[in-house]
Amino acid sequence: MDSTLPPLVQQMLQPEFYPHPVQEPIALIQTHVSFVFITGDWVYKLKKPVNFGFLDYSTLERRKEFCAQEIALNQRSAAELYVGVVPIIQTGDRYQLAEVGEAEASNGAVEYAVKMHQFPQENLMSARFDRGEITEAEIIELARVVAEFHRTAPTSDYINTFGEIPQIKVSFDENFQQTTGYIGGPQTQAQFDLTQSWTEAFFAENGELFQSRVTGGFIRNGHGDLHLGNICWLNDRPLLFDCIEFNEPFRFVDTIYDVAFLAMDLEARGRIDLANAFVNEYAERSGDWAGLALLPLYLSRQSYVRAKVTSFLLNDPAIPEADRAAAHDRATAYYRQAASYAQPRSGQVILMCGLSGSGKSTVARQLARQTNGIQIRSDAVRKHLGAVPLDQKGPQSLYSAEMTAKTYDHLLQLGLDLASRGETVILDAKYDRRALRQTVIAATQERELDLEIVHCQAPIEVLRDRLNQRTGDIADATADLLAAQVAAFEAFSNEERLWVREVDTARGGDLKLQ
């Protein structure tokens, strides 16, 4: 047994410590702030007596308080896992677990542990990822769960104060201050300077954006640490656990903060396509495409904070040397990733065009994965504007001329705002009228944005079959609308054809950008 571990930790690695059967050997997982014991049916988590500024577990009373907070907060999204807080008492040199809720012994508790139901560690999304088991369909389901979690997450005037720039910047500034000692190690001076200067410029140039997030109700009591290691797949659905309990500014955050943590984690693992699927599904379900303007900032921040906490392991004498070497390599990669989001990018608009059933959304999804682009479907925009649930058929009024004009106007504005920030944006709609297309052409030329029009086609009988067989999609169009759509479609002008690429979706195969 490792003699550098505290005596309590050494005893908790022994089967006789527990008042219940255990599975041997008891596994110990260490983070920079906790010891986690895997015993078979139950998991126990001790908080290390550390103070990093942003996190203070230095006193017994604070550790007790934050154990209770951890239980209450995580029961919002993973009630099946969290049991309660267990006092630990001491007699002589021996430690003992009390029962959850049991009155503390007269000599008082000397420590507290969070008690959880143990789930198979192979169900962790991080473990499933390592085995190559995570599918895009699961990531899409995860995005829907996160969107619903955010929809019901509390907000208040107090929570909104954490959306003000001076409050947000506190953690960014602290991150940079606490990592200067790692320059020349896992961090380089050039990366540090680039990340810090770009971050400062982002805050300086986007005051209105941050204020709109506050007034729009997007500052919520969220998760704060949403990566694959804090999600398990249980009973055919994802459970979000181990949210931030120790620091309100890390949990009272913009909803995009949480989205960025998961997307960053997937990108760090080399699966930008899955990160793209998560971001696009989240935006569609929440209707918060405008919030994606913040995504690069928070992607960089989340990469940087993972680099920072991984760097802290380099100074922990309880961490074995081999693990410290691996931590150095991980920190290096995270610092590099954080700096990558600060690189300049050129925006682009891809305008999808075609009748219902022509495969526009399928092709748009392919292009989004290839380009890490943002796909914005008019069907989703229309329903969000009309306050109609995405999976519910809309009333006839949702398809009035007035609502259609409103939908296309909002679709274009979203696309222009994001493309002007360097994103590739895919406007996914019929765009059957020349005036609608000309408006996009004029707007992209005015902003000097690259434009491509992708016209999807298939024989009418193929379109009809697709629409008759369509299930589980948010689009409401049916085959009986095809004749009217064909008649209404206005051919491309010679000017428009400069940007048009024709795609026959009946032939199958993947479309690739040139």
- Report d(CA 215, CA 213) in Å as an integer: 6
pLDDT of residue 318: 78
Bridge partners (DSSP) of residue 89 are 96
Please, which residues have CB within 8 angstroms of residue 42's CB and are 6 or more apart in sequence?
Answer: 18, 20, 83, 115, 116, 117, 118
The amino acid at 193: D
Q: Cβ(153)–Cβ(222) under 8 Å?
A: yes
Q: Cβ(358)–Cβ(461) under 8 Å?
A: no
pLDDT of residue 98: 84
CA-based nearest residue to 45, from 76, 81, 20:
81
Decide: residue 355, CB within 10 A, 0-12 exposed, 13-18 middle, 19+ buried: buried
pLDDT of residue 100: 56
pLDDT of residue 472: 84
- Report d(CA 350, CA 412) in Å as an integer: 11
Q: Are strands 27-30 and 34-38 parallel, antiparallel or unpaired?
A: antiparallel
- Report d(CA 257, CA 342) in Å as an integer: 17
- Report d(CA 92, CA 7) in Å as an integer: 12
- Report d(CA 425, CA 417) in Å as an integer: 10
pLDDT of residue 476: 86
Q: Are strands 111-117 and 82-91 parallel, antiparallel or unpaired?
A: antiparallel
pLDDT of residue 251: 95
Decide: residue 345, CB within 10 A, 0-12 exposed, 13-18 middle, 19+ buried: exposed
pLDDT in tens, the chain (514 residues): 677 899 999 999 999 999 999 999 999 999 889 999 999 999 999 999 999 888 899 999 999 999 999 999 999 999 999 999 999 999 899 999 986 555 454 358 999 999 999 999 899 999 999 999 999 999 999 999 999 999 999 999 999 999 999 999 999 999 999 999 999 999 999 999 999 999 999 999 999 999 999 999 999 999 999 999 999 999 899 999 999 999 899 899 999 999 999 999 999 999 999 999 999 999 999 999 999 999 999 999 999 999 998 999 898 887 888 999 999 999 999 999 999 999 999 999 999 999 999 999 999 999 999 999 999 999 999 999 999 999 999 999 999 999 999 999 999 999 999 999 999 999 999 999 999 999 999 999 999 999 999 999 999 999 999 999 988 889 988 888 899 999 999 999 999 999 999 999 998 655 665 4
